Every structure is written in C-alpha cells, then in structure tokens.
Amino acid sequence: MHSIPRLKPYFSNAETRSFEQIPSLYDDSSHTIFLHETASQKEVIKALNSQSAEDSPFWQGMAEFFGVHLKQQLQHFDSLYPLIAQYSPLEIPALLQTLVVPNESIWAIKTDFLPGQSVQSELVTSQMVRQLAEHLACLHQVESDQFGYIFGKTKTETKPSWPQHVKQQLTQLLSVHPLLNSTEQEALLGQIDARFQPSEFGVIMPDLRWDQFLQQENALTGLTDLDALVFGPVELDWVLLEYLLKPEQAQLFCAEYERHRAIPEIGAVRSVYRVMLFLMNVLGEKNYQAWRDYPALFV
C-alpha cells in the first residue's frame, strides 16, 4: 500500500493545493488512488499495489489465459488510453504521466479528473444499459487475430490456438481448484474439442463491472479503469454480461448492440467461459454451483 509521503515528491509541484488518498471500494484493490488538486486542475493518481495484484486470482488468470501482467500493461497506457478514447462513446481520462521506479516498487499513472459518481448496480437505468451496449460494440469492432496485450509485448498467440490454449490452462487450474468431478471435467474439456470454434477477437473487458463506470444524472459519462483491456473473444464479454444484466435489461442491451454489429452466439462456449471467469474470481462469487446455474440471458 502506498502512502502520500512516498508518492507526493513524484507528483506534487509548486501549484499543489491538496494531495489526498481516496478510500478504496475493495480491501484487496490492485491500486491505491489519490486526488491531486492544483491551482488549475484536478488529477487522479493510481499507484499499483503490486503484491495485491500478483496475488489476486483475477490477475493470475489474466496471466494464464491472456499472458498479460499489470506492471507491463501499465507501461503501455500511453498508447492504450488514446485508442480507447478514439473508439468508445464514453469519456476516457487523458493520461498525463506514467511513473515506473522498480527499485522503490512504484508503478503509477496520473490522469485528469473526470466528474461523476461510480455506478451502483441497483441504480442502473435503461439509458445506462444502452450506453454500455454501444460502448462494448465499439470496442468489439477493434479487431485482432491474436489475443493478449493490445500494445507492447509481441503477440504470438493467434485465434486458431485459443481453444487448445484455454483447454490447457483450464486443465492445469482445475487440478489445483477441483470445482468439478472427473466426469464433469472430462465433459467440459470435451466441449472445447467438439464445439469450441475460434471466434471473433476484439477489445474485451474481462473485469467488466458497473462500478468501473462514472455516471451523472442517470447516464454513463466515463470509464476510468482500463487496466484489464485485452484482445480476446467477444463472447467472453457476453458470458460475463449474463451476471450483470436483468432480463429486461438484456433485451435493451441486445437491441442497442445490434444497431452497431451482429450479436455473437454463446451457447457453445457458455459453460467453458463460466468456469474460466469463476476461476478468475471476476465478481467475487465463492459458490460455484450458484455461478454455474445462473440464468442464461442470451442464445
């Protein structure tokens, strides 16, 4: 966990009026966040809690399935932030500074401050659902034939290798986290061989949650968390959406998404991706049976 005295020398200046830590939503958050206010503007500083990130099931899963590590991802935000700002209809903060001081365990970024409040899932409006659909459709249009980092490390894993890559990683993870009995595991992995076809790859959000977005007056206004954006199968976002949307919201989402691009079919991949997302602990669910049996919303 980073402290104000530790970071202030790197980010404060003669115009600094205040430098305050913002309370985290989660005890195991991958970042400590600060608000830096100068005479002319407000800025947000996100300092990586490297141990929390490395120990989290989510970032371990990002490394295993996508080959992505947060420390390396952060060092290419200067390219990622402008790209997402170019395609997303939501406001993306401008990246002002990247600070990497490995011998002091500091990996941090500074962005401009976006007004708004974090979205609460119980207060999601129809307008927000339509805006989320447009946002994801626009990201999915940024296509790739590879998966993993959007910028930076050379991508060597291509779309045809994805099914066997997923199968290999799931086999290893299920040997450590035995969610399934041997018959269930054999059936799940068999689905990859029988039904899993290389899908359309675009920019996806494996950590998609409502509280990543900002809202004002019941409408989405911005996205401030770009940490986990990667190239990957767009169906993965759709499987995750089944946990975020109510049935009536799903109808609104599909109607808006279809205005921009075709809706993918997820029936052949739902079971596999649900296990994958559970192992990554994307939404904090601990009961695998409840997660597995969650109602399906899409075809």
| Long-range pairs, 256-259, Cβ under 8 A, ≥24 | 256/129, 256/130, 256/133, 256/134, 256/137, 257/133, 257/134, 257/136, 257/137, 259/134, 259/137
One domain for residues 40 and 165: no
Residues 81 and 177 reside in one and the same domain: no
Q: Are residues 139 and 230 in the same domain?
A: yes
What's the CATH code of the domain at 55? 3.30.200.20
- Is there a contact between 237 and 270 (Cβ–Cβ < 8 Å)? no
Enclosing domain of residue 37:
4-112
pLDDT digits (tens, 9 = 90+) for 132-172: 999 999 999 999 999 999 998 666 688 889 999 999 999 99
Q: What is the dihedral of CA 172, 178, 184, 189, to 10 degrees?
A: -10
The residue-averaged pLDDT of 221-237 equals: 96
pLDDT above 60 for 258: yes
Residue 192 tokens read as 């990859």
**Which sign, positive or negative, has the C-alpha torsion 19, 23, 25, 31?**
positive
The answer on 281 and 163 residing in a single domain is yes
Mean pLDDT of the chain, nearest integer? 92
**What tokens appear for 132 in the block?**
């989320």
* pLDDT (0 to 100) of residue 9: 81
The percentage of the chain sitting over the pLDDT mark of 70, rounded to a whole number, equals 95
* Co-location of 49 and 74 in the same domain: yes
- 90 secondary structure, DSSP code: S
